[in-house]
């Protein structure tokens, strides 16, 4: 009886380790329970040039410091748009310093954490009320149309910030001055 009890324990132990592997293999092989689409709310990797190629009135070289950029077109209803994205920026909490807002258009003074400029000439890919999320290298990662919900942008932005650690903090920890 003792040997039978020991064998059952051994089989249970093997099952504890083997069943998750078997389940994962079945899910992968028959594509069961694996999402087919990506979860970004905006247009992923739109055909928009990098920030350095945008036809802006003032050069935006200050964004070379490793910050993510939330650029938004402010050619109409600018005060509301600026306030809307300022509130989203505040909602980021401790991750807010990693993001800079770029307001394109409007005549009001820039809000805290925001840079303001205007279009030198409107590019063909520009749309009134559009929002672009750019990575620290200035490449457009996501594009949102006019009227996008702030919650959708916040979800995408927090996901990106979580998946991409702050390089400045990593360098400080490593002692690598680069």
Per-10-residue mean pLDDT, the chain, length 178: 89 92 88 72 90 86 75 91 94 93 89 89 92 93 93 93 80 59
Q: Which helix (H) or strand (E) holds 68?
A: strand 68-73
pTM of the full predicted structure?
0.74
pLDDT, residue 70, reads 95
pLDDT, residue 64, reads 59
pLDDT, residue 154, reads 95
b/e map 55-75, b = 16+ CB within 10 Å = ebeeebeebeeebbbbbbbbb
pLDDT, residue 147, reads 87
pLDDT, residue 38, reads 61
The closest of 102, 103, 38 to 68, measured between CA atoms, is 102
pLDDT, residue 66, reads 73
């Amino acid at each position: 009886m003792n040997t039978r009890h020991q064998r059952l324990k051994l089989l249970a132990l093997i099952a504890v380790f083997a069943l998750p592997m078997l389940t994962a293999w079945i899910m992968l092989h028959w594509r069961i329970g694996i999402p087919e689409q990506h979860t970004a709310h905006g247009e992923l990797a739109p055909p928009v040039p990098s920030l350095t190629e945008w036809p802006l009135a003032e050069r935006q070289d200050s964004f070379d410091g490793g910050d993510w950029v939330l650029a938004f077109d402010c050619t109409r209803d600018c005060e509301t748009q600026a306030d809307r994205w300022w509130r989203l920026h505040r909602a980021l909490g401790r991750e807010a310093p990693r993001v800079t807002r770029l307001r394109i258009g409007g005549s009001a003074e820039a809000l805290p954490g925001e840079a303001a400029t205007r279009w030198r000439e409107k590019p063909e890919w520009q749309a009134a009320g559009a929002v672009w999320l750019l990575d620290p290298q200035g490449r457009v990662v996501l594009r949102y149309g006019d009227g996008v919900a702030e919650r959708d942008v916040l979800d995408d932005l927090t996901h990106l910030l979580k998946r991409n650690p702050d390089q400045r903090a990593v360098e400080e920890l490593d002692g690598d001055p680069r």
